[in-house]
Amino acid sequence: MVRSFRRRHRPVAPYILAAALLLLAAGGILYWVLRGPSPSPLGSPAPVASPSPSPASPSPAPSASPARSTPSPRPIQALGAAGLERSLYQASLTIGEEEASGALSLTYVNNGLETLYVLYFHLYPNTQGADSLVIQSVSLNGTAAYHTYTEDGTILCVPLLNELHRGDAARIYLEFTVQVPAGGYGAPSAQDGETPLWGLMPSVALYENGWVLEAAPEDVRFGPVADWRVDITSQRTPALASGTVEPLSEGRWLCSLTAATPGLYLLP
């Protein structure tokens, strides 16, 4: 057996390939290092400072929400569902030969600009004779009310529990008796045999930059214009200076008018 002394050579191709791959990898790493930071994945923009408000600066309300406005002045409105433009007197009056008795319900609407804290009523018959008109009871919004009189008894004062703003209303109820003299009260255009009874019933005074308390019933400043509905029972037929008189039954009439106070007469 003959030994061969030829030297065996190892294959070099795998080493060359590995060296080439290492060189490529090193070159790639060097390329990315020199190029700088790569863009964000999927091409999304880099984050920037957000303009979102801080807790001390709340964001504005959405445009869909209505802006808050300054409350407007209260409009003139009458007592809710009552729908009154003017004050309303509703009364029943029984007239005898020398005396009358009555009940009066007033819904007073403040159509002025100023707030009212008290109401004043004319008791006109007392200007013609002391105690000619006597108030039996006074109620305010359904409750017995504190009230006072002027020294001569010609003005009734009813303080209000709640002030009356523009457009507000209060209900006052009065019961009274009043003397009926032969010559009546007031004498505007009274004809022979007629008995004028102007200002016979209590009526609220006019407020015009203060209360007007000195006017006579035929004076336009006697009281605010109001609607009157007076159910009269009498042996004598009533008549009005203006308005309508409707017969209801024997000896009973409904008088309707718009005035400061009824221009009432009793016919002969």
**Residues 9-57: pLDDT tens digits?**
455 566 666 666 777 766 666 665 555 554 444 444 444 444 444 444 4
When pLDDT is averaged across residues 147-167 and rounded to a whole number, the result is: 96
Q: Does residue 119 have a pLDDT over 70? A: yes
Which residue from 218, 205, 215 is spatially nearest to 264, judged by alpha carbons? 218
- The type of residue at 64 is A
pLDDT for res 192? 81
Mean of pLDDT over the chain? 81
Dihedral sign, CA of 152, 224, 164, 170? Answer: positive
User: For residue 213, what are its two tokens?
Assistant: 């308390």
pLDDT for res 29? 66
Q: What CA–CA distances, in Å, run from 29 to 32, 38, 39, 256?
A: 5, 13, 17, 109
**Residues 163-216: pLDDT tens digits?**
999 999 999 999 999 999 989 998 776 778 899 999 999 999 999 999 999 999
H helices present in the chain, as ranges: 13-35, 125-128
Which residue from 77, 116, 145, 79 is spatially nearest to 205, judged by alpha carbons? 116
When pLDDT is averaged across residues 125-133 and rounded to a whole number, the result is: 96
pTM above 0.85, yes or no: no
pLDDT band at 5 (very low <50, low <70, confident <90, very high): very low
pLDDT for res 162? 93
| Per-position DSSP letters for 121-190, written without gaps between them | EE-THHHHSTTSEEEEEEEETTEE---EE-TTS-EEEEEEEEEE-TT-EEEEEEEEEEE--TT-B--TTP
User: For residue 142, what are its two tokens?
Assistant: 């359904």
Q: Pick the range with the lowest mean pLDDT from 29-33, 46-50, 90-94, 256-260.
A: 46-50
Residue ranges covered by each domain of the chain: 86-266
When pLDDT is averaged across residues 75-99 and rounded to a whole number, the result is: 76
86-266 folds as Immunoglobulin-like (2.60.40)
Residues with Cβ within 8 Å of 67's Cβ and at least 6 positions away in sequence, in order, are 61
When pLDDT is averaged across residues 143-152 and rounded to a whole number, the result is: 97
pLDDT above 90 covers a percentage of the chain that reads: 64
Which residues sit opposite 154 in a β-bridge?
none
